[in-house]
Amino acid sequence: MSLMADLFRRVPSQADGLDLSDTPKHLGWIMLAALGIGATIGAGIFAMPGIIAGKAGPAGILSFVITGIIILFVAICYEKFSRLMPNGTSAYSYTYHSMGEIIAWIVSFGLFMEYSFGASAVAIAWSVYLQTACKFKVDPFWAGPRMVEGHYEFGVNVIAIGVIIVITAILIYGGVSKSAKLNLMLVILKIALLVMFLAVGIPHVNPANWQPFMPMGIQGVLQGAAVAVFPFVGFDALYTFARESKSQKDTKLGTFLCIALVSLLYVTVMAVATGLAPCFIDGHKNDLFVGSEAAAPLAKLLASVGEDWTATFIAGGAVLGIFNVLLVLCMGGPRIFRNMAEDGLLPPIFTKVKNGSPTYGILLNGVLVAGFAGFMEFGEIAHMMVLGTLVAFTFVCIGAMRLKAVSPLVAIPGLIGCVVLACNLEPTVLKAYAITCPLGLLIYFAYGYKHSKLNQKMTPIALAPEPEKLEQV
């Protein structure tokens, strides 16, 4: 068989001979929606409005609308794939079935960036939120590496490492069911905090602050929309749990409830945030909207209009909210490892499960995330997370269209939208991906290519009959 045929060999929609007896079917639509919302509403909603306002001004509202519409098209592709591959896990399984092994590996590398870099970035943000809410500071060395007057200074972020250790222990000893219930409680708390922000902030909104509405033009809106993908990375995390869904109906309801609620909250929060203060003053960004993931623009905005107590309460709630995001991101990544190991692309040790959780995958994920969070500067990690997500979303749309699982009228807008958003990320991120993706492929050729279960088959899956088609939407 030729190398090209090997690289594009595809798995069947049903995993033959795969033992799923230790995979519980315990997640209903409420729990599934909560898992997606848990990873989606957290660091993003407490920090992204300020960052996006700095790029697009009040038109950041349109940025969230554009991103939400694109994600809706992508969500339809995901939901159709979950019917076709009920035992699959997220974009990795879907592209492995529709496009081939090498594409699945590229997607899995994007997902690795999404979960590992994303969890690392959020852990760094959590460490700063904790210090802000509790009003304490650690020695600069123990706060992590940083740039001081143009010079790099080494450091170790002990708080970020500590929170990853705690979450890893919760996932290993608590199991999926308990972790999902904890996630649901934290989601309810975060929604309550956001409702509080809206209730307290709306009376202080000054419509004059929405003028000019689009100070940076359509380019600013698109740049804001690209960054706005960050909150929606949790949507893919929802589909790492699709195998554990009680039914296809639960998966579908959980998906669209997550997208609808998240889009509504982000648009309304963005509208109120930009109405509390002008985005630009005398042509310069308002200091209230300057900051990274570790900033707290919602709290600062409320404090600027005299709501100090509520601002402090919101900052404290962000600590729990970001913890919730970390919980779900660290639950999702190991499930990608598990599926890859089941296909032979990673060592079989990653298939071991305890209490419904892939134990060794969680341990490896914990070590990687703690290392990134403890010894790396925040830098462009959040943008790398966004790029990895857009890569996965793009190939899912292409794969769904190839199988005719959805109409081109659904897949093509999702595909084009993801490509446009990726092109509006920081150029350094695209350059970094062009270097790191080939490094990931080296792992595939060193281990996965030879050990792939499809490599053991006499008849290549690429020559098998075309997979069943789904009714188009």
Q: Which residue has the higher pLDDT, 272 or 246?
A: 272
The rounded distance, in Å, linking the Cα atoms of 253 and 1 is 43
Mean pLDDT of 89-94: 79
Each residue's pLDDT tens digit, 294-311: 345 677 788 888 888 887
Query: What's at 16, amino acid-wise?
Result: D
Question: 303 phi and psi, to 5 degrees?
Answer: -65, -35
- Check residue 460 and give its pLDDT: 40
Mean pLDDT of 69-85: 88
- Check residue 66 and give its pLDDT: 94
Nearest to 93 by CA among 279, 345, 469: 345
Query: What's at 82, amino acid-wise?
Result: S
Could you tell me if residue 172 is inside a domain?
Answer: yes
Structure tokens given for 26:
């315990």
Could you tell me if residue 20 is inside a domain?
Answer: no
- Check residue 178 and give its pLDDT: 60
Could you tell me if residue 336 is inside a domain?
Answer: yes
Most distant CA atoms of the chain, gap in Å: 72
Nearest to 402 by CA among 7, 73, 91, 97: 97
Could you tell me if residue 222 is inside a domain?
Answer: yes
Each residue's pLDDT tens digit, 176-215: 556 667 767 777 887 888 888 899 999 999 999 898 899 8
Q: Is the pLDDT of residue 242 over 80?
A: no
Q: The domain that contains 339 carries what CATH number? A: 1.20.1740.10
Each residue's pLDDT tens digit, 427-458: 777 777 787 788 888 989 999 898 898 887 64
- Check residue 408 and give its pLDDT: 92
Could you tell me if residue 465 is inside a domain?
Answer: no
Structure tokens given for 195:
């409702």
Q: Which residue has the higher pLDDT, 19 or 330?
A: 330
Could you tell me if residue 239 is inside a domain?
Answer: yes
- Check residue 357 and give its pLDDT: 75
Could you tell me if residue 6 is inside a domain?
Answer: no
Q: Is the pLDDT of residue 16 over 50?
A: no
The rounded distance, in Å, linking the Cα atoms of 270 and 61 is 6
Could you tell me if residue 470 is inside a domain?
Answer: no
Each residue's pLDDT tens digit, 108-119: 877 777 678 778
Chain-wide mean pLDDT for the chain? 79
The rounded distance, in Å, linking the Cα atoms of 374 and 138 is 14
- Check residue 411 and give its pLDDT: 94
**Number of structural domains, the chain?**
1
The rounded distance, in Å, linking the Cα atoms of 92 and 169 is 26
The rounded distance, in Å, linking the Cα atoms of 13 and 368 is 31
Question: Sign of dihedral through CA atoms 68, 69, 72, 77?
Answer: negative
User: Rounded to the nearest 5 degrees, what angle is found at the Cα of 172, between the Cα atoms of 167 and 174?
Assistant: 85
Q: Is the pLDDT of residue 421 over 80?
A: yes
Each residue's pLDDT tens digit, 390-404: 888 999 999 999 999
Mean pLDDT of 334-343: 83
Range of the domain at 400: 25-455
Mean pLDDT of 311-340: 78
pLDDT band per the 50, 70, 90 thresholds, residue 43: low
- Window from 45-49, 118-122, 226-230, 255-259 with minimum mean pLDDT: 45-49
- Check residue 54 and give its pLDDT: 79
Q: Which residue has the higher pLDDT, 135 or 155?
A: 155
